[in-house]
Amino acid sequence: MSEKNNNHEDTGFTIVDKRIGSKRESSPDADKEQLYEKSGTSSMDDFKERRSDNTEEPGQTDRQQAPLPEVDFSSFIISLSTSVYIHLGDIPDPVTNEKTINLAMAKQTIDLISMLKAKTEGNRTEEEDKLIEDMLYNLRMRFVTASR
């Protein structure tokens, strides 16, 4: 592979943030310059050295680093079940804000939750056992109703 292909800094693309209220236009070099300015380092080499130890992604700002909810087995199962309800048309799709029915995707996600139940057998708490049992029952009953 050529040396140019290994160089990720020379991508030549521009990122345009199209979210409502955002007027930010960015490129990979602009993001690096912003991080360099925020870091207060004396040279780009110092910045690169410090950057290699830092887990923060380029272009992230303080407002983008809002704390996320804790990820645990229960929240994961609830997230998967929410996607089943979206595929069954009970909840509007967050992207299109429309209710659509996709029984194949609903069935696949129910099967995925069932597989997780089998693979985590003996490693769940009582609360997680009850949650996954109840969730699977409710999702399967809702799927049968939607299939008619």
Tell me the C-alpha distance between 27 and 32, whole Å.
Answer: 9
> Is 1 inside a domain boundary?
no
Tens digits of residue pLDDT in 6-27: 545 555 667 766 666 655 544 4
Q: How far is CA 71 from CA 31, 78, 79, 90, in A?
A: 29, 11, 10, 24
Statement to judge: residues 39 and 80 lie in one domain: no
Tens digits of residue pLDDT in 114-141: 999 999 999 999 999 999 999 999 999 9
Counted domains in the chain:
2
Would you give the DSSP letter of residue 15? E
**What residue numbers bound the domain in which 18 lies?**
10-55
Statement to judge: residues 40 and 77 lie in one domain: no
Nearest CA-CA partner of 99 in 87, 108, 107: 87
Q: What pTM was computed for the model?
A: 0.56
Q: Could you tell me which residues come within 8 angstroms of residue 53 by beta carbon, excluding any fewer than 6 positions away?
A: none
